[in-house]
A and B are shown apart, each in its own frame.
Chain A
Amino acid sequence: MADVVVGQASVTRSTGVRKRSSLRNAVKHKSTVAFLMTLPLIVLIAVLVLYPAVYSLHLATLSKSMTKFVGLGNFQFLFKRETFWLVVEQSCIFAITAVIFKALIGFIVAHFVHNIPAKGQRKWRGMLLVPWVIPPAMSTLAWLWLFDPSYSAFNYTLSFLNIGPVPWLGEASWARFSVILVNIWIGAPFFMIMYLAALKSVPDQLYEAAAIDGANWWQRIWYVTLPMMRNIIAITTLFSLIVTFANFDIVRILTAGGPLDQTHIFATWAFKVGIEGSDIPLGASVSLFMFPILAIAAIFILRDINKRGNEA
């Protein structure tokens, strides 16, 4: 009898030990702990991102009245419409041109700011960040006034040079130019601040070594600065490409897609078709088109980063 009791006790104890040790093993696996710690964020993303994404996939397969399953019908319909291809073209022009200029201007300005002595630098950094900090809807409204054909500051100033009046938002090519200009104005400071951080992380001695090796100013940028900043440039470009591609407020406020749908990009056209045109499934189909394009860009850019990961 006594033996049995002792036996039971030892069994309980050993399961306890086993349980504890399996917990300890689990904790030992850093990946498990990491997963548990990121779980709240994963849940949040699932609720706020995954669910709407899946739901919009579902919506895109429904008829206009949202009562019938039409499969890929909405997409077939889109492919046949000229406006859709116009939107694809304009979205690409808008995003690619804006990102290139934002990156270029950001890079140049970052260099200037980097060379300002530390004392005055904070002031400049702060001022140059202003366009990025103001809510885009508000600053775009200010731009809308500036672009006004009859009373705007731009056309008024140009009138002294006997130029104009320029139909900033009234003519397709000018309107395309204007929306891109505003996007660059708002987005360039982001590139500037990212590049500035990257520039500051390049050790001075690399430049000194390059100077002794015989590199001139341009060669120092080409052989030292750019390679050292490659990863930051790639990530910033990808991030900006995604945000610019999905832009809504600038186009919506400045032109609302006009004139004649010439400045529509995916988000504004999806809004027009889905909300204003009361065809939510078609709107969902339009917005889904951004996904494959951005996915391809992301794969290319991120693959390059992985390749270089072991350098610095």
Chain B
Amino acid sequence: MADVALRKVVKRYDDVEAVRGIDLDIADHEFIVLVGPSGCGKSTTLRMIAGLEDISDGDIMIGGDVVNDVPPKDRDIAMVFQNYALYPHMTVAENMSFGLRLKHYPKAEIKARVTEAARLLDITDLIDRKPKQLSGGQRQRVAMGRAIVRNPKVFLFDEPLSNLDAKLRVQMRIEIKKVHQKVRTTTVYVTHDQVEAMTLADRVVVMNKGRIEQIGTPNELYHKPATRFVAGFIGSPAMNFIPCRLEDVGGTLQIRLTDRIAFPLPPARAARYNALPRTDKLLLGLRPEHLTESHAHLEPGVETFDTVLDVTEPMGMETLVYFGLDGTPVCGRVNPNAGAKDGAPMRLAMDLNNMHLLNEETGVVL
């Protein structure tokens, strides 16, 4: 087991820069998830750590040693691929033991390791089958088993759950978490699914256009996003961004959303935003769960307004409501018993204690 460090790592394909100088420190035993939309450079980064792609510039270190020119087989890593990449002509046991056999481990040790990994992943009964005789979830377990038996310094997962159906994905997500709790190997996991990222990671690395947007624990990313990209990418349904401006009315700072709707900011927020120029084009960032139905007893900082709903989506435990504020589509989450109906007027409450204010041009959260 080891820590992993990336220093100003760059990957260029001809004229295109896929990864634009990223720095990342991954501690020993840590579970790091790289997440971002397709083409953001997350898979390329993972493949550079694995040694499957050369790096154009910078350094990659595993366990303190620079591994830029070390071939994959000597990096002591194990990788789980999206399409499993199991050898179709080998049985499950042979697939899992292939790496050990190439390294001429004693037969007894190979057997012990394979048996232990199979037990851990609950695939003991499948050990003599060929990959074709397995379901998608079982293949994924075997691919993980192949990684575990090697007892490597680092596990690399390249979108391992993308080929599974939704139900199995949730199940395997829990399995992966359980396995990591048991083996505690440093793990780098790539996914485009922010739910996977949030649920699995010790820390999440959000990538966009070849750069790291933000690194943080799932809670940090959710509650304190650094940029508009992170704020919009993490969380489902996504955060609302409503154009707004700040104004001073009678000594209090207030936020104006439309000609009709303006609210005084809670004192803590007012103090934080007071220094901002009033002319800046701003965006109010508000998660749907902070736009709810109105109550009789509202906390300070929660303001109400009336709107007409465009569409409602009953989800069972909650109902999503969609409406427009001066043409900007906005989503809220209300209690299913609050009486939200398509096309009906409704009084909603906006919790400004949880608001974010963003600079519209730079996308930075202020």
Contact = CB atoms under 8 A, between A and B. Distances in A.
Given A208-B79, A213-B73, A227 B85 contact: no
Contacts of B85: 203, 205-206, 208-209
A215 B88 contact: no
A37 B132 CA distance: 31
Interface of B: 50-52, 71-73, 77-79, 81, 83, 85-89, 98-99, 102-103, 130, 132-133, 146, 150
Contacts of A208: 50, 52, 72, 79, 81, 85
A165 to B, nearest CB: 51
A310 B132 contact: yes
Chain A interface helix/strand/loop/mixed: helix
Contact of B72 (A211, A228, A230): A211
Interface string A229-264: 010000000000000000000000000000000000
A213 B52 contact: no
Given A212-B52, A227-B87, 11 more contacts: A203-B83, A205-B83, A208-B52, A209-B85, A212-B73, A213-B99, A214-B99, A214-B103, A215-B102, A228-B88, A312-B89
A121 interface: no
B102 A209 contact: no
A228 to B, nearest CB: 7
A228 B90 CA distance: 11
Contact of B132 (A205, A209, A223, A311): A311
A212 B50 contact: yes
Contacts of A310: 130, 132-133
Interface residues of A, number: 22
Contacts of B133: 310
A219 interface: yes
A208 B215 CA distance: 29
B189 to A, nearest CB: 16
Contacts of A219: 102
Contacts of B83: 203, 205
Contacts of B71: 211
B89 A215 contact: no
Contacts of A224: 87
